[in-house]
Amino acid sequence: MSWRLAGSAWLAAALSLIFPPQCPGCGAEVAGRSAWCERCLNELWQPRILDTAERGMPHIEDCRVLTGYDGAVRTLLHGLKFERRRGDAAPLAWLVSMADEAELAGLHLTGGVAVPVPLSALRREERGYNQVELIFSAWCQAQGMQWEDNALLRRRHTTPQWELDRKQRQENINGAFYCNAPEKIRYRHILLVDDIVTTGATLEQCALALHQAGAASVRALCLAHD
């Protein structure tokens, strides 16, 4: 081990003794940084499969969510998206890593292509990052997926979906996405990832663009359901 690595390990251990890792939900001491305590995890863990037909998402074969958009998850996502608290991504990424094989079965992970829902160029410049990448990219690559953060882009800046009703959301997002690199999408199984799903309008428009680029299938995984 190099002296730099040894020094970093020593510093991390010292900090853990002085400032023990705390659960982002309740503040209880936990085993590792970014981890949630068992009680909070049991309360917020709500994996489910959304009915894509009922939601008008014909271009998405399967859509999974892991938790609800409330409590500490909501607070962390708000800080990450609107207050530039980049560090708030780590506990959310930890939650994604808790999904087991049964909860993810059928998503075609290994060998597939992971594509995040993109921000507009304006919003990415304002924020400095795409929060979806911070939450999902490392985990997707650990599953054996190819991460493609520029394969799908926005044609235009759109009004934030949370400001609109169902009908306005659909009008706002129609035709907003296009595939920038169809050669990376054609004939591939795509996992579309996002932080929050509400009506599913954004996911459906992204999936439509991916299918138009020749995707073999599009499935979706979202952290939270509002």
The CA-CA-CA angle for residues 85, 34, 15, to 5°, reads 95
pLDDT at position 50: 96
Q: Which residues contact 86 (CB under 8 A, 6 or more apart)?
A: 80, 128, 129, 134
Tell which phi-psi region holds residue 36, choosing left (phi > 0), alpha (psi between -120 and 50) or beta: beta
- The bridge status of strand 113-116 relative to strand 146-147 is parallel
Tokens of 62: 């399967």
d(CA 122, CA 138): 25
Give every residue of the chain whose pLDDT is below 50, as ranges.
1-8, 10-12, 15
pLDDT at position 3: 43
Instruction: Tell me if 47 sits within 8 A of 66, measured CB to CB.
Output: yes
Q: Which residues contact 81 (CB under 8 A, 6 or more apart)?
A: 127, 131, 195
d(CA 210, CA 129): 22
CA of residue 119 relative to chain centroid, distance: 12
pLDDT (tens digit per residue) in 49-86: 999 999 999 999 999 999 999 999 999 999 999 999 99
pLDDT at position 108: 86
pLDDT at position 55: 92
